[in-house]
Amino acid sequence: QKEVEQDPGPLSVPEGAIVSLNCTYSNSAFQYFMWYRQYSRKGPELLMYTYSSGNKEDGRFTAQVDKSSKYISLFIRDSQPSDSATYLCAMAYAGKSTFGDGTTLTVKP
Amino acid sequence: GAVVSQHPSWVICKSGTSVKIECRSLDFQATTMFWYRQFPKQSLMLMATSNEGSKATYEQGVEKDKFLINHASLTLSTLTVTSAHPEDSSFYICSASPTSTEQFFGPGTRLTVL
């Protein structure tokens, strides 16, 4: 079993929809939780970085961490075609990150 | 802030030659740098972790003699693919971390070995 499991997708939504991206993990040692966005043929870009359980909001993006359930989510409100990309969750402890396999999102105009 | 550059962005080489890829953190000092490779439609595969001034730590299955990593300073790490073969063709991405948790990625280098 992988340490980090990410909903595989792909996901296709109409413009303006609310998108929910999810990951589960098995290692309770993970302390830091990140979401990255990767456009085709580009390096990943850090979107959100959280440490504790709860919600963190940044513009149209909300990251949610539930340590008790070992479950994290990224919500995108009012999705735009420019949000079309692959989203990677990542979790870290002791200086090492483990990445999910990514969910490819397409937002159709 | 937190910009990481990679050079070159793409390279085509003949089988048997060596290729060097540079990774630089432009506006912060990176205590740790990471090297990944990524195949099409797959996630990142960590190859090695390097700390400035010390030897890189390679992941299982990654040949250290083939993928030479040098972390010369707090802002520069290099990956040299020695005696490259077509199966080494991939997208190589570095990341730099100021804190050993959050990582900032470079734009990647696409290597094609003929």
- What are the pLDDT digits (tens) for B51-92? 888 889 999 999 999 999 998 889 999 999 999 999 999 999
Residues from chain B that touch A92, judged by Cβ atoms under 8 A, are: 101-102
pLDDT at B100: 66
Rounded Cα distance, B107 and B94, in Å: 8
**Using the beta-carbon criterion (under 8 Å), do B105 and A32 form an inter-chain contact?**
no
| Both structure tokens of A10 | 């792909």
Smallest CA–CA distance, residue A88 to chain B, in Å, is 8
**Using the beta-carbon criterion (under 8 Å), do A97 and B103 form an inter-chain contact?**
yes
Residues from chain B that touch A102, judged by Cβ atoms under 8 A, are: 43
Give residue-wise pLDDT tens across range A47-90. 998 988 889 999 999 999 999 999 999 999 999 999 999 999 99
CB A84 within 8 A of CB A107: yes
The amino acid at B57? T
| Both structure tokens of A82 | 């420019």
Residues from chain A that touch B32, judged by Cβ atoms under 8 A, are: 95
Q: Number of Cβ pairs closer than 8 Å across A and B?
A: 52
Which of A23, A42, A87 to substitute to test the interface with B, most B CBs within 10 Å? A42
Residues from chain A that touch B104, judged by Cβ atoms under 8 A, are: 46
Give residue-wise pLDDT tens across range A34-49. 999 999 889 999 999 8
pLDDT at B39: 87
**Using the beta-carbon criterion (under 8 Å), do B101 and A36 form an inter-chain contact?**
no
**Using the beta-carbon criterion (under 8 Å), do B43 and A101 form an inter-chain contact?**
yes
Q: Is the pLDDT of residue B1 over 90?
A: no
Q: Dihedral of the CA atoms B59, B62, B65, B66 (nearest 10)?
A: -140
